[in-house]
Amino acid sequence: MNIYKILIYLVWAVVLSVLIGGCTVITAIKNDAFGLFGGLPSLQSLERPEADLSSELMSSDGVSLGKYFRHNRTAISYNELSQELITTLLVTEDIRFTKHPGIDLRGLMRAASGILTFQFKGGGSTLTMQLAENLYGTSTDNQGSLYSNRKIGQIITKIKEWIIALQLETSYTKEEILAMYLNTIEYGSNSYGIQVAAQTYFNKLPSELNYKESAILVALINKPTKYNPVTNPEFARAKRTEVLYNLHKYGKIDKASYDTLIVSDFGLQYKVANQNQGLATYFRTVIRRDLMAWCKKNDFDLFSDGLKIYTTIDSRMQAYAETAVNEHMDTLQYIFNKHLQGHAPWIDKDGNEILNFIDMTIKRTPNYRQLAQKYGEKSDSLEYYLNLPKKMTVFSYNGDIDTTFSLVDSLKYYKQFLQAGFMSMEPQTGHIKAWVGGIDHKYFKYDHVKQGKRQPGSTFKPFVYAAAIDLGYSPCFPVVDAPVTWVLDDPANPTWTPQNADGKYSGETMTIRKAMASSVNSITANIMQKISPRAAVDMAHACGIESPLAAVPSLCLGAGGDVSLYELVGAYSTFVNQGTWTEPYYITRIEDKNGVVLEDFIPKRREAISEKTAYLMLHMLKGAVEEEGGTGRGLAWSLKQNNDIGAKTGTTQNASDGWFMGVTHNLVGGAWVGGDDRYVHFRNWSMGQGARTARPIWEKFMLKVYADPLIGVEKGFFRKPAQPLGVELDCDRYNGVTAESDSLDTGVDDYGDLDIY
């Protein structure tokens, strides 16, 4: 046998040995023989690769309100990528991408050489192989016992990537692999996937990216922190130049373009997604609790499953609501500060400053609890750290302020701000169109629409009158403005006589429509005596108030329990919706990441009161705008022109809360204004009444909504029942019974202690 044949046999022996050995190794890795190698993804998971996707909240007019995410990522398709971006990626990461089947033989030879010499230096990593690592964590997940040796672990990882890359190329087109790759990359600044990265750095869609912008984003792929153009501009510029050079090297841009681009600025429009920014921040926080409960029940992850949640919020109306709150509260805060004249705003019922208010309040804060747990409640260290000045950024209506405050100082500062809540809904559908839970979600997290509950004051009076109307009273029923006394089961306070806002009784006989319009307390108390507090409670619950209410005399002034703005708006909607209560709701449907509808939502409905009673209550509410002395008379004329408006103001004890409820034929809205603590308020009722503090918010909102024809909210009139009312609404012709001859029980009931605040 000559030497030539021997060499041939040896070559074949080596080739066969490599093939057999390679197949053996691949089989062992695929099957994780003896737990040495760690597993590979199943064929099923390769057909359905997963990456965390943000869930998105959508408005009723198709605008994104925000996202819920661990990794802020939104997947897009190849057709949504610019050609400049694709070209930039390929010349930088894998110029032979379109020519290889997932493994580049040239790179493979370099890698194989390293493997055989145990001098592994990388190489041969194609885009498809990088995608394998991004999707399945080949270098970090499913590690077998052989990974304890770093070099052997690197070899196994590379072989795994080869195997997965070949399988990915079999399952997907090149275009799909490119899109999947760009969707899985982290680009820094809490941006995952090219869609979010393009928005974060340039406020653009991926389809709009040019070479200059694409070079920045491609430069971020391997080291997003090091090459971040915001935090490390020098490194970013050097890396961008390298990427642009590749574009020139492979003939994608000419020398003149290259020279121009490398000296150009970054052209950033940088904005990181933040839950405290954008529209409907309070709404997004409140709805998140409902969504998390739904996800738990239905086995989804709100922060990674890419759900699409469609809401009832109209982005334009939401923007108008937020503007109305901001404009009015900025002005009102100025008036409040001027009104205080340097005095503390936390005062008791006698108008005296509560000296230990801050000491009491700070004990409810997380910072106090942490320090007290660490140092003890009576330690000097606790006092030291509570009063230790440190740099911080605080809220102001003129923009954030950098200052130096102690924890005590910051609490004093923030407690002086008045808060607000506003909500507007369609009474017929239950769709909530706007929701503003406070003055700034970044600094004040508490939601004053649904989470916060306060005494409703005179905004509760319509339920007292509705109970009377339901019993047959007419809006024209006359009552004398005179003291009404209740006998109480309390030796210390045996009687209670509610006073009017000005502390006087006019002795005037007026209709209950005018009395409600002018918010005359004595007449509401008179009617409450006739119908009983229990009837008022039952009416409120029927109309949609779910919070507990005490059936006590003081309820006629709204001092029988705390309610939310969310409840009140829903309850007032019952009057507009012909007596049918429709649950205020905000989610219409939820879809999965592929657009498959997971659930459609329908609000609860029930008949609460008769259509006749509902219409008569609208007539009563219109009195605030039409009757002399009505608390809604000051509304802009343009709002009232060719438009039915019903309204009710509310002001609680010591002007702690100011309310305004406004109803039209197609929108019901409510506003609340007050301090986070009830002790924070104006020093007199006149300054703090709801007509001054809350009404302007509703008014500003409605003016903006009517002025925007694209929204389609038009003026109109309340719908009158088809059947005759059987009640005279022209009080000049009213022939009903007088207050003195009324046949209903007017006896004085015996009630327990009153708790009026």
Question: If you average pLDDT over residues 230-240, what whole number do you get?
Answer: 95
User: Would you state the pLDDT for residue 279?
Assistant: 94
Is the model's pLDDT at 33 over the cut of 50? no
pLDDT band at 519 (very low <50, low <70, confident <90, very high): very high
Q: List beta partners, residue 67.
A: 56
C-alpha 59/C-alpha 318 separation (Å) is 10
* Residues near 87 by beta carbon (within 8 Å), at least 6 away in sequence: 211, 214, 247, 252
Is the model's pLDDT at 715 over the cut of 70? yes
* DSSP labels, 353-384: B-TTHHHHHHTTSHHHHHHHHHH-TT-HHHHH
Question: If you average pLDDT over residues 246-251, what whole number do you get?
Answer: 95
Is the model's pLDDT at 757 over the cut of 50? no
More confident residue, 498 or 152: 498
Question: If you average pLDDT over residues 17-24, what whole number do you get?
Answer: 51
Question: If you average pLDDT over residues 114-128, what whole number do you get?
Answer: 63
More confident residue, 298 or 382: 298
User: Would you state the pLDDT for residue 149?
Assistant: 54
pLDDT digits 0-9 by tens, 700-709: 999 999 999 9
Query: Which domains can be identified in the chain, with CATH numbers?
Result: 32-262 (1.10.3810.10), 314-418 (no CATH), 420-751 (3.40.710.10)
Is there a contact between 587 and 309 (Cβ–Cβ < 8 Å)? yes
User: Would you state the pLDDT for residue 140?
Assistant: 47
pLDDT digits 0-9 by tens, 262-307: 999 999 999 887 766 789 999 999 999 999 999 999 999 998 899 9
User: Would you state the pLDDT for residue 2?
Assistant: 65
Distance between first and last Cα of the chain: 113
pLDDT digits 0-9 by tens, 644-701: 999 999 999 889 999 999 999 999 999 999 999 999 999 988 899 999 999 999 999 9
Question: What 3-state DSSP class applies to 187?
Answer: coil
Query: Looking up tokens 């009057």, which residue turns up?
Result: 575
User: Would you state the pLDDT for residue 40?
Assistant: 58
Q: CA gyration radius for the chain?
A: 35
pLDDT digits 0-9 by tens, 73-84: 888 999 999 999
User: Would you state the pLDDT for residue 756?
Assistant: 28
pLDDT digits 0-9 by tens, 446-471: 999 999 999 999 999 999 999 999 99
Is the model's pLDDT at 153 over the cut of 90? no
Q: Which residues in 135-279 belong to E strands, given as ranges?
A: none
Is the model's pLDDT at 474 over the cut of 90? yes
More confident residue, 317 or 97: 317
Is the model's pLDDT at 406 over the cut of 70? yes
Question: If you average pLDDT over residues 575-585, what whole number do you get?
Answer: 98
In Å, what is the CA distance from 154 to each residue of 32, 161, 471?
16, 11, 84
pLDDT band at 7 (very low <50, low <70, confident <90, very high): low
Residue 567, token pair as written in the block: 């409840």
Helices (H), 250-356: 255-262, 281-298, 315-340
Residue 302, token pair as written in the block: 């709100």
Residue 405, token pair as written in the block: 């405050």
Dihedral sign of CA atoms 435, 437, 443, 445 in order: negative
Helices 565-576/611-626 angle, 10° precision: 110
Residue 658, token pair as written in the block: 């100011």
User: Would you state the pLDDT for residue 518?
Assistant: 95
Question: If you average pLDDT over residues 567-583, what whole number do you get?
Answer: 98
Question: If you average pLDDT over residues 20-41, what whole number do you get?
Answer: 51
Question: If you average pLDDT over residues 254-264, what whole number do you get?
Answer: 95
User: Would you state the pLDDT for residue 414?
Assistant: 95
User: Would you state the pLDDT for residue 34?
Assistant: 44
Strands 55-58 and 308-311: parallel
Q: In whole numbers, what is the pLDDT of the chain averaged over residues?
A: 87
pLDDT digits 0-9 by tens, 48-73: 555 678 899 999 999 999 999 877 88
Question: If you average pLDDT over residues 377-384, what whole number do you get?
Answer: 89
pLDDT band at 145 (very low <50, low <70, confident <90, very high): very low
Is the model's pLDDT at 32 over the cut of 80? no
Is the model's pLDDT at 728 over the cut of 50? yes
Q: How many CB atoms lie within 10 A of CB 749?
A: 15
| Residue % of the chain over a pLDDT of 70 | 85
Q: List beta partners, residue 84.
A: none
More confident residue, 437 or 728: 437
pLDDT digits 0-9 by tens, 345-358: 999 888 899 999 99
* DSSP labels, 723-756: S---S---TTS-----TTT--S--PPPEE-----
User: Would you state the pLDDT for residue 10?
Assistant: 58
User: Would you state the pLDDT for residue 197?
Assistant: 94
Q: List beta partners, residue 594.
A: none
In Å, what is the CA distance from 119 to each residue of 18, 139, 149, 153?
19, 18, 14, 13
pLDDT digits 0-9 by tens, 157-175: 667 777 788 888 888 899 9
Q: List beta partners, residue 425.
A: 432, 668
User: Would you state the pLDDT for residue 4?
Assistant: 61
Q: pTM for the full model?
A: 0.81
* DSSP-derived secondary structure letter, 119: -
Residue 119, token pair as written in the block: 């001098």
Dihedral sign of CA atoms 172, 175, 176, 177 in order: positive
Q: List beta partners, residue 711.
A: none
Residue 159, token pair as written in the block: 């072989």
C-alpha 520/C-alpha 359 separation (Å) is 39
Question: If you average pLDDT over residues 516-521, what whole number do you get?
Answer: 96
